[in-house]
């Protein structure tokens, strides 16, 4: 896996031949990653962000960090023990796989850039101004070590508890630093890297073979790779034309390694660093449009024939082969398998298997720009010099339609088979009510370029364009009302999409985003979630938005403020029970909250309870829920907030550790008296051979509920007494040396 700015996580399962985009559910910069196996990993980044996966990156769970500073690096030695470091001497540590992080004391306040642990107790962190700190007790204490340099140190790598290398340097003046230790970081001696550039990362596959990467801003090919085969006694440059900064390097063994850099560049070596060919997807292509046929199935298309596909609601995006290098300007799916796209060179693409294969045909070189299908058969393409093409048979044949203009047409939208609108340069708006047989110009009231159009029905429509222009109609375009919105750093709005008649989103160049919840009467500025240009938007739920754009940007944004603004959501362990607490600031038509728990070892969420909402409220309100009789372990919970109209949204996912019981206990059955079912609970602080037996008043065994070995934890078992008469019964727990009897009453 690799991580980057604005919450990007990508993953490969084929040695780097292909990389899929995974959804982190954050726009914070992600700066460090540590994998303990093919399923478990932790990512850290801006504002104290810590994300954890236990399923290979399919889902990422936010973990609570006691610091809000930037976290730059993380190192796990196994599934439980991990350390993250960051700005201003930040050090946080977990011994529970991330369910609980606690602060450790740094001997200075310099920014820490990298951390490396050889085992669960021996670790080194490096940072600005030559900072090196060391621990030999898992971070209980950190001590400063002399580095002999005042230059920033950016990377450190240990192959065992004694042998390690740190790298760094300076951009101006240009300088390189390579330091080596053979005594676990107590003493460091300089090595000669044979270059004078900033080195940002180092990786050793064993005590002799290592690679460092960095940036040379005085060269046109400013990605730098140096390699050693003798533990750093000598370093040599790897001469590759890499015209991008390199930020990080990692080797799997003495031959196979990856380096990552600016703009999503990924390079790979399979010969120990002698050559570094760029991967097929080394450059992240601009994405122009995104379309979801349902909340789970979505497709994004863009430059160089890029097609990315998700089948899990945007958590993971997989590259598909389009068969063209031309830029794709639109995409549509009638269902989860049947879809179309078109290139700016007039290539029409079609799939009937969800994008596993795409067929293509030329429909003419008229430079398409806009593309829309109202259903699987009826579609329209618009483009250069007023060109309009129409199909009524799923793209098998196309008919030229007369637009009556020579202006460049940029977008088209049909609300049904007959009613459609086209927009373009110089304020062009065209309207048809007969499937495009005739197109009638409409008055836009502007000469600015218009880039996108959408309708929620045959009469209510919205257009966006240059200088954040928004046009709105409520009568099919007879009258368009001009709205001029001020949006900093955004020169034009590139796309607009509505979920229903009221809820819409618009975004554009510079990453600016506007949102309406009243059908476009007013638009509110949303916080920037990307500094990259946004070219396409899609809404899959009332509060779930997808944005695509420059450099392969794909962002899923979930707004938890509508219709319920959730201020906090936390969990605590109380013996054998888990207490969930959450707080709302405002509520609108809130029916209530389903509480869902992730089943251990699966991706299945189970409903474990429901808490009623209070409808509409503008005051802070506190909620709680108790999940009873939980065995020891780590559990994940989320809230499913349900509106009174049936719409729902999910909260963030939280984790909580349920500790093992401290004592053997046998609880009173509940309910008691009972008829005919009751639950008997018990707790084991250690693994034990267990017997749980039901007796009658004569001391005769009538039923054995448990017999066998049980691990430490809390247990509950149902007793069904439908075959027994009313009366007094006893139940006895035997666990190791522990034995206890309790009485219960069956009352039919």
CA atoms of 460 and 531, how far apart (whole Å): 31
What DSSP designation does 471 have? E
Q: For residue range 575-584, what is the model confidence (pLDDT) as tens digits?
A: 778 899 999 8
The string of pLDDT tens digits covering residues 178-215 is 999 999 899 999 988 878 888 888 888 777 888 888 88
Q: What stretch of H or E contains 383?
A: strand 379-383
pLDDT > 80? residue 21: no
Distance CA 73, CA 63 (A): 15
252 and 203 Cβ atoms separated by less than 8 Å: no
Q: Please tell me the predicted confidence (pLDDT) of residue 30.
A: 73
Tens of pLDDT along 62-92?
888 888 888 888 888 888 889 999 999 999 9
State percent of the chain over pLDDT 90.
Answer: 46
Residue 631 half-sphere exposure toward CB, CA atoms < 13 A: 12
DSSP E strand stretches across 161-315: 164-170, 175-181, 189-191, 198-204, 210-215, 223-228, 236-237, 246-251, 257-261, 266-269, 287-292, 298-302, 307-310
Instruction: Give the model's pLDDT for residue 634.
Output: 78
User: Concatenated DSSP letters for 45-65?
Assistant: EGGG-EEEESSTTSS-EE---
Q: 590 pLDDT band (50/70/90 cuts)? A: confident
Q: State the average pLDDT over residues 721-729.
A: 94
d(CA 719, CA 698): 19
Please tell me the predicted confidence (pLDDT) of residue 279.
Answer: 45
> Burial code of 300-310, b = ≥16 C-beta within 10 A, e = fewer?
bbbbebbbbbb
Class of 665-746 per CATH? mainly beta
Q: What per-residue confidence (pLDDT) applies to 410?
A: 96
**Residue 558 confidence class, pLDDT cut points 50, 70, 90:** confident
The reported pLDDT for the residue numbered 447 is 95
pLDDT band at 107 (very low <50, low <70, confident <90, very high): very high
The number of helix segments (H) and strand segments (E) in the chain equals 0, 67
Quick one: the chain helix, strand, coil %, rounded to 5?
A: 5, 50, 45
Residue 218 pLDDT more than 70?
no
- CATH 3.40.190.10 for the 107-283 domain, yes or no: no
Q: Would residue 542 be called left, alpha or beta, if left means φ above 0 and alpha means ψ between -120 and 50 degrees?
A: alpha
Distance from CA of residue 332 to its chain's centroid? 24
In sequence order, the 6+-apart residues with CB closer than 8 A to the CB of 526 are 513, 514, 515
Which residue would you say has higher pLDDT here, 215 or 357? 357
Q: Specify the higher pLDDT residue, 1 or 384.
A: 384
- Per-residue pLDDT at 282 exceeds 70: no
| Residue 13 vs residue 647, higher pLDDT | 647
Residue 240 has pLDDT above 60, yes or no: no
* Spatial separation of the C-alpha atoms in residues 698 and 730, rounded to whole Å: 10
Highest mean pLDDT among 185-199, 276-290, 650-664: 185-199
pLDDT at 272 over 80: no
- 107, 69 Cβ separation under 8 angstroms: no
Q: How many C-beta atoms surround the C-beta of residue 559 within 10 A?
A: 15
pLDDT for 280 equals 40
pLDDT at 345: 93
**CATH class for the region spanning 564-658:** mainly beta
- pLDDT on residue 255: 73
Handedness of CA 66, 72, 75, 80 (dihedral sign): positive
Whether the pLDDT of residue 150 is over 90: the answer is yes
- The arithmetic mean of pLDDT across residues 30-35, rounded, is 77
Per residue in 462-511, pLDDT (tens digit) is 999 998 899 999 999 999 999 877 776 677 899 999 988 888 999 988 87
Q: Please compute the mean of the pLDDT values over residues 512-526 and round it to a whole number.
A: 86
Q: Which of 236-250, 351-365, 532-546 has the lowest mean pLDDT?
A: 236-250
If one compares 188 and 599, the residue with the highest pLDDT of the two is 188
- What is the pLDDT, as a whole number, of residue 281? 41
> Whole-angstrom Cα distance, residue 626 to residue 578?
6
Residue 326 has pLDDT above 50, yes or no: yes
Strands 399-401 and 481-484: unpaired
Of 46-50, 53-57, 153-157, 394-398, minimum mean pLDDT range: 53-57
Most confident range, picked from 55-59, 194-198, 364-368, 639-643: 639-643
Instruction: Average the pLDDT over each of 18-27, 50-59, 547-556, 704-713 and give the range with the smallest value.
Output: 18-27
- CA–CA gap between residue 136 and residue 245 (Å, rounded): 34
| Separation CA 229–CA 270 (nearest Å) | 15
* Cα separation of the two ends of the chain: 61
655/221: higher pLDDT? 655
- In angstroms, the CA 122 to CA 120 distance is 6
Residue 278 pLDDT > 70 = no
Pick the CATH number of 1-104 from 2.40.10.500, 3.40.50.2000, 3.90.1580.10, 2.40.50.140: 2.40.10.500
Q: What is the dihedral of CA 530, 536, 539, 544, to 10 degrees?
A: -20
Give exposure, 86-117, as e/b (b: 16+ Cβ within 10 Å).
bbebbbbbbebbbbbbeebebeeebbbbbbbb
The pLDDT of residue 163 is above 60: yes
Residue 560's pLDDT band, with cuts at 50, 70 and 90, is low
Q: Which residues pair with 71 in a beta bridge?
A: 86
Rounded CA gap, 696 and 743, in Å? 10
- Model-level pTM? 0.53
pLDDT of residue 10: 61
Q: Give yes or no for a cis peptide into 275 (omega within 30° of 0).
A: no
Q: What is the pLDDT of residue 539?
A: 93
Phi, psi of 231 (to 5 degrees): 70, 20
Cα–Cα distance between 166 and 201 in angstroms, integer?
Answer: 8
Rounded percentage of the chain residues whose pLDDT exceeds 70: 88
Q: What is the mean pLDDT of the chain?
A: 85
pLDDT of residue 283: 46
Averaged pLDDT for residues 47-63 = 80
Cβ distance 350 to 322 under 8 Å?
Answer: no
């Amino acid at each position: 896996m690799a991580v980057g700015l604005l919450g990007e996580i990508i993953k490969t399962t084929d040695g780097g031949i292909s990389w899929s985009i995974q959804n982190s559910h954050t726009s914070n910069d992600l700066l460090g990653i540590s994998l303990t196996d093919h399923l478990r990993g932790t990512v850290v980044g801006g504002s104290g962000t810590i994300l954890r996966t236990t399923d290979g990156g399919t889902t990422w769970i936010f973990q609570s960090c006691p610091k809000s500073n930037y976290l730059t690096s993380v190192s796990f030695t196994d599934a439980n023990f991990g350390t993250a470091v960051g700005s201003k001497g930040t050090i946080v540590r977990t011994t529970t796989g991330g369910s609980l992080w606690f602060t450790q004391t740094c001997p200075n306040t310099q920014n820490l850039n990298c951390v490396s642990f050889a085992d669960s107790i021996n670790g080194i962190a490096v940072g600005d101004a030559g900072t090196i700190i060391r621990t030999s007790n898992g971070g209980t204490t950190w001590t400063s070590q002399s580095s002999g340099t005042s230059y920033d140190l950016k990377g450190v790598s240990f192959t065992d508890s004694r042998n390690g290398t740190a790298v760094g340097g300076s951009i101006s003046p240009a300088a390189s630093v390579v330091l080596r230790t053979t005594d676990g970081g107590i003493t460091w001696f300089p090595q000669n890297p044979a270059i004078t550039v900033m080195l940002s990362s180092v990786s050793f596959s064993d005590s002799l073979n290592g690679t460092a990467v960095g940036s040379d801003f005085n060269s046109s090919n400013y990605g730098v790779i140096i390699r050693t085969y003798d533990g750093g006694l000598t370093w040599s440059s790897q001469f590759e034309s890499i015209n991008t900064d390199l930020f990080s390097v990692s080797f799997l063994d003495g031959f196979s390694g990856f380096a990552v850099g600016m703009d999503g560049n990924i390079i790979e070596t399979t010969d120990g660093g002698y050559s570094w060919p760029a991967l097929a997807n080394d450059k992240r292509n601009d994405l122009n449009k995104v379309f979801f046929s349902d909340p789970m199935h979505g497709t994004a298309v863009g430059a160089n024939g890029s097609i990315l596909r998700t089948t899990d609601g945007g958590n993971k995006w997989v590259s598909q082969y389009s068969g063209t290098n031309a830029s794709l300007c639109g995409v549509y799916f009638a269902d989860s398998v049947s879809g179309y796209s078109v290139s700016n060179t007039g290539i029409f693409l079609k799939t009937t298997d969800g994008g596993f294969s795409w067929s293509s045909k030329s429909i003419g070189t008229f430079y398409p720009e806009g593309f829309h299908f109202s259903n699987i058969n009826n579609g329209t393409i618009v483009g250069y010099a007023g060109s309009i093409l129409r199909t009524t048979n799923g793209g098998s044949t196309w008919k030229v339609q007369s637009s009556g203009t020579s202006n460049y047409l940029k977008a088209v939208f049909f609300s049904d088979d007959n009613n459609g609108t086209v927009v373009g340069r110089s304020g062009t708006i065209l309207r048809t009510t007969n499937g495009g047989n005739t197109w009638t110009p409409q008055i836009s009231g502007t000469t600015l370029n218009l880039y996108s159009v959408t309708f929620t029905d045959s009469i209510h429509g919205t257009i966006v364009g240059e200088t954040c222009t928004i046009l709105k109609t409520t009568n099919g375009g007879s009258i368009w009302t001009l709205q001029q919105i001020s949006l900093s750093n955004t020169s034009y709005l590139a796309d607009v999409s509505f979920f229903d008649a009221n809820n819409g989103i618009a975004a554009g160049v510079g990453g600016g985003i506007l949102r309406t919840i009243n059908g476009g009467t007013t638009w509110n500025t949303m916080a920037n979630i990307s500094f990259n240009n946004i070219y396409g938007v899609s809404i899959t739920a009332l509060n779930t938005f997808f944005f695509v754009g420059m450099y392969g940007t794909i962002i899923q944004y979930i707004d938890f403020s509508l219709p319920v603004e959730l201020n906090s959501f936390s969990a605590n362990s109380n013996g054998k029970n888990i207490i969930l607490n959450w707080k709302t600031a405002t509520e609108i038509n809130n029916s209530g909250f389903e509480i869902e728990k992730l089943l251990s070892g699966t991706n299945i969420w189970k409903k474990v309870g429901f808490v009623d909402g209070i409808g509409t409220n503008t005051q802070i309100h506190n909620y709680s829920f108790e999940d009873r009789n939980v065995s020891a372990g780590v559990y994940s919970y989320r809230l499913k907030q349900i509106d009174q109209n049936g719409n729902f949204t999910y909260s963030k996912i939280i984790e909580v550790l349920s500790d093992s019981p401290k004592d053997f206990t046998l609880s009173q059955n509940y309910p008691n008296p009972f008829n005919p079912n009751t639950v008997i609970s018990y707790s084991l602080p250690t693994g034990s051979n267990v017997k749980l037996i039901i007796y009658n008043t004569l001391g005769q065994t009538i039923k054995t509920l448990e017999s066998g070995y049980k691990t430490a934890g809390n247990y509950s078992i149902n007793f069904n007494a439908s075959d027994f008469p009313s009366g007094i019964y006893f139940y006895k727990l035997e666990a190791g040396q522990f034995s206890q009897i309790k009485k219960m009453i069956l009352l039919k």
